[in-house]
Structure 1
Amino acid sequence: MTTEASHPLYVPLRPEPFPTAPMPAPPIPAPPVPTAPFRAGPVPAAPFRAGPVPAAPFRAGPVPAPAAPAAPVPALRLPPDRLRDAVLAGAGAVALLWGVQARPSARLDALFATGAHLTGLLAGYGVLVLLLLMARVPAVEHGVGADRLARWHALGGRYVLGLIGAHALLALCGYAVHTHTDLVTATGDLLAYGAIAAATAGTALFAAVGITSARAVRSRVRHETWRAVHLGALLAAALGFVHQLAGPDLAGSLLTRWLWSMAHGTVAVLLLWYRLVVPVRAALRHDLRVVEVRDEGPGVVSVLVRGRGVARLCAEPGQFFRWRFLRRGLWATALPFSLSAPVRDDTLRITVKALGDHTRRIRRLRPGTRVLASGPFGALTAHRRTRRKVLLLAGGVGITPMRALFETLPGGPGDVTLLYRASNESGLVLREELEAIARERQAALHFLLGRSDDSYDPLAPRALRDLVPDLAAHDVYLCGPPAMAKAATANLIRAGVPASRIHSEDFDHA
């Protein structure tokens, strides 16, 4: 029977033991540790040498030994279950508001009107929730995670569109029954009211957002077009607010109107502050500029960005920024890329693979290019850790956040393991750095090479247990292409890892 260790595409790296006693560093640094050449079998680790590794940041080849960086100020994080409970509680309060004002009646037009009032209130509340989820509030982003927020936003959008459609249909039917007219005549009569005309325009804008967000349409629409249509949702929300203030559920109570207006005003302030004011203030404060673009492999480059007081951003390994490079062809789009190394000397580093027009243009960036970076975002950080032992599982360019975590996650020898899945040797990004980190930390590093359609799957449950015998006792951090991440998650669960200890984040949905 073929075992994982005998398979020709399995390349383990097992470091030699470290001395356990502290060793004083000599005054002159020792030369860098050479990187072992690629072999089809085990790669021997270079012997440990006394003295620190040279500390020049992001130098090609071996990286510095993980130093103890200054601990960032703990970020305020809102757990996902707390946010979910708060959203549901708000929906319950809106339903209670409707119930207090409802007047029971068996008349058909009254039944239609009552249903229209409930769906209208819930739709208005749902719009506020959708805007809040995308307001990039740090406590929400860091606690819930950008990809989960995006999924909740997409799911909530479907419910809100359904509520808006139900509200419009129920209101139209109620008016037609009340006035004893047909639906066409009732539609013309209702559009004569300014508040209803505003609501109709808002509904059309929301429908456009929903259509362009559908999976079949999204793949055929340019990203800039999709973004522009989504900005129309802000106008749609404002038009809906005007309509709601004129409706019977809010117009009859000064307190209700005040609470509803305060809720809308709060969300509007959060949107303006975190999506406009904070990024502009950060751009002026930190003056970020490209200092180097370095080739890392076929179609892969690392971009080094330096500024003033970058440490005040409190960026953690595993997080990402939305980058806007101020040059032709790139300035109009904010691209989400995770940090591929910890912050050092006011320098941020991202590693990008050319997958489209925008990412291909990044390799042509020149030193001195101004950069606007909003963030940090994401919850794929050390705070999710619940166990002493950690498995980092990366696929393709998904190694970038894993590389930063591999260097910085606290742990002793054997506590941290990295599995890196790639189709072939040339697809291993930042390989020399990973090998150097593994030697310095006495951590396990395994390169799992092979095509996704090969008969042997190195991420099958049994293969994972053979590579990591006590796999069920690990926290797992996962980042890779969506198909690989989905299959790996299922295999990890079958291998005995609880779903609650599998931490992943899809930055493409952020």
Structure 2
Amino acid sequence: MTLLAIAGAVAVVALWWPTAVVTASAPALATAIAELAGMIGSYLVCVQLLLIARVPWLERLIGLDRLVGWHTVVGAATLFLVLAHVCFMTLSQWITSGHGPIGAYLGLFDLYPDMLTATVGTAVLLLAGLLSAQALRRLLPYELWYWTHVTTYIAIFLTFLHQISAGPVFAGHPFTRGLWIAMYVATAACIVFWRVATPLMRFAEHRFEVVSVVPESARLTSVWIRSRRPDLLSVRPGQFMLFRFLAWGHLLSAHPYSISNVPADGLLRITVADLGDHSGRLRALRPGTKVLLEGPFGGFFGRRRRAGAVLLIAGGAGIGPIRGLAEQFARLGRSVVVIYRASRPEDLAFYDEFTSLPSIQVITLVGRRDELGFDPLDAESLGFYVPDAAQREAFVCGPPAMIEKTAESLKALGVPERRVQFEELSFA
């Protein structure tokens, strides 16, 4: 995938080179750099969108979580190149006209078409990039962040008009213009087909609907969903899907939730912690509410490996996918130890379900670290609770800080990296 992206960038440079005017003249050099930055940035926009277009073979090959990470990295590079394009074009005009930076930028409106749409589109792209910064994103409601990113599709269209009308590679060159348009059309087709049409077609087959809503603990809620075509329902416990409930307060955004049971008879369950406006409203869902689903995604499920025994470690809402995996492994006859970490006793869920399953040992670690005086997930504690941890296949699901600590502990206990899978509850 990386080699393909690099090859595409090389092809973009090859398109730019014949029309580049690179001389000792400072304005010409600045313009050439601006044009190249703009073209590569525009190309990376398509790469960035394809990474989250839900292309099935791409998701199976790489995994949606890694694709989202790459999407973020490519997005940062794209913003840098867009800013470089604007700055170098302004610099070129500044040197030529002798006006200040603001006057030089405004002067570009007289030289190039579609500058107004490009300015609006660029501003929206920069705003979306700013709101994606981790420090700001934590402070924003998910819906605000989500819809700010949806507007980037409009921004991309606005800046695209400027590219094909003002870019020297495209203006007066039908072949290269057609090639560039085809790249954008193909990217848009992937998004429309896999992110819009596919969920609608799947809904037409399955008619997904909410069967019941069950409070599991003070902060955890389970939602049971039925498919009318169980023979077509292919999802494993531990995987996650994107759920869009067709009800007030849920319709405008899709959220990722992990499957917390072994789907059977067309029934699947998600178990969600009350962490915000959307998740907090799940308890108000009514039976019969229709649901659009995307997925399944993720590789957080058991594959037959050398280790016959498994160690499952859950923190907070991570108990959802761990619950489904525990049942799956128990049915396969594998020895299962579940470490369940929670801050308060009232946060525990599924304890009765765990104890009803064969060959499962559940160890609950309840209390805050400052109250306990130690970290229950450090290597010494885990080694005490699970002396044979190094011989087990491990699955860990929880918040990022817990994942990091547990990874260190498992490594110290001698668990090989190839036998450890992690699922961070931070995708949304």
Distance 2:325 2:373 in 1: 31
Post-superposition shift, 1:460?
A: 1.0
Question: What is the alpha-carbon distance in structure 1 between the residues aligned to residue 122 and residue 393 of structure 2?
Answer: 45
Pick closer, same or farther for the CA change 1:187–1:297 going to 2, 3 Å.
closer
Matches within 5 A, 1:235-384: 235-246=154-165, 247-251=167-171, 253-382=173-302
Equivalent residue in structure 1 for 2:313, among 389, 393, 400:
393
Give how far 1:206 is off.
0.3
Q: Secondary structure at the match of 1:297?
A: coil
**TM-score after normalising by structure 1:** 0.76
Distance verdict in 2 for CA 1:117–1:305, change over 3 Å: same
2:311–2:337 CA contact under 8 A, matched in 1:
yes
Distance 2:284 2:53 in 1: 32
Cα distance in 2 for partners of 1:101, 1:470 equals 66
Aligned length: 425
SS across alignment from 2:238: coil
Q: How does 1:105-144 map to 2 (within 5 A)?
A: 105-144=23-62
- 8 A Cα contact 1:290 1:368, kept in partner: yes
Residue correspondence of structure 1 range 436-475 to structure 2 within 5 A? 436-437=356-357, 439=358, 442-453=359-370, 454-475=372-393
1:90 aligns with 2:8: yes
Partner of residue 142, structure 2: 223
Deviation of residue 473 (structure 1)?
4.9
> Could you say if the C-alpha distance between residues 402 and 350 of structure 1 is closer, same or farther in structure 2, counting changes exceeding 3 Å?
same
The amino acid across from 1:348 in the alignment is: L
Instruction: Give the aligned partner of residue 19 of structure 1.
Output: none
8 Å CA contact 2:399–2:426 kept in 1: the answer is no
Counterpart residue number, 1:198? 117
User: Does residue 162 of the first structure (1) align with residue 87 of the second (2)?
Assistant: no
Matched, 1:208 2:112: no
For residues 229 and 445 of structure 1, the distance between their equivalents in structure 2, rounded to whole angstroms, comes to 43
Structure with greater helix share of residues: 2
Higher Cα Rg, which structure: 1
Q: Say yes or no: does 1:150 pair with 2:68.
A: yes
Corresponding residue SS for 1:153: helix
Question: Per the alignment, in what secondary structure is the counterpart of residue 374 of structure 2?
Answer: coil
| Residues 198-242 of structure 1, C-alpha deviations (whole Å, 9 max, x = no match) | 222211110111222223332343322222211111011112222
- 2:244 is paired with a residue whose SS is strand
Q: TM-score normalised to the size of structure 2?
A: 0.89
Q: Deviations over 1:349-395 (max 9, x none)?
A: 11223333332322232222222222222232335967555432211
> Aligned-pair distance for 1:449?
2.8
Deviation at 1:507, TM superposition (A): 4.4
Q: Distance in 2 between matches of 1:87 and 1:474?
A: 38
Check 1:410–1:106 CA distance in 2 against 1; reply closer, same or farther (3 A cut): farther
Match of 1:408 in 2: 328
Aligned partners of 1:146 and 1:505 also within 8 Å:
no
- Give the 3 Å change call, closer, same or farther, for CA 103–494 of structure 1 in structure 2: farther
Supply the AA of the counterpart residue of 1:451.
R
Pair 96,385 (structure 1): closer, same or farther in 2 beyond 3 Å = farther
Residues 48-68 of structure 1 show CA distances to partners (whole Å, capped at 9, x for unaligned) of xxxxxxxxxxxxxxxxxxxxx
Query: Residues of 1 paired with 2:413 and 2:231: CA distance?
Result: 39
C-alpha separation in 2, matches of 1:497 and 1:138: 32
The answer to whether structure 1 residue 189 and structure 2 residue 123 are counterparts is no
Deviation at 1:342, TM superposition (A): 1.5
User: Once the 2 structures are TM-superposed, how far is the Cα of residue 180 of structure 1 from its aligned partner?
Assistant: 5.2
Structure 2 residue 119 is matched with structure 1 residue 173: no
Measure the CA separation in 1 of the matches of 2:42 and 2:405: 38
Structure 2 unaligned residues grouped into runs of 5+:
none
Could you tell me how far apart the structure 1 residues matched to 2:259 and 2:244 are? 15
What is the alpha-carbon distance in structure 2 between the residues aligned to residue 449 and residue 222 of structure 1? 29
- What code does the residue aligned with 2:364 have? F
Q: Does structure 2 retain, via aligned residues, the 8 Å contact 1:394–1:478?
A: yes
Q: Cα deviation per residue 1:68-108 (whole Å; 9 max; x = unaligned)?
A: xxxxxxxxxxxxxxx33433333343344444654542221
Whole-Å separation in 2 of the counterparts to 1:341 and 1:156: 35
Report the Cα distance in structure 1 between the residues aligned to 2:230 and 2:142, rounded to whole angstroms: 29
Unaligned runs of 5+ in 1: 1-82
Residue 201 of structure 1 contacts residue 239 of structure 1 at CA under 8 Å; is this kept in 2?
A: yes
Deviations 1:160-196 (A, max 9, x none): 1111001111112123334555433332221233233
Contact 1:313–1:376 under 8 Å retained in 2:
no
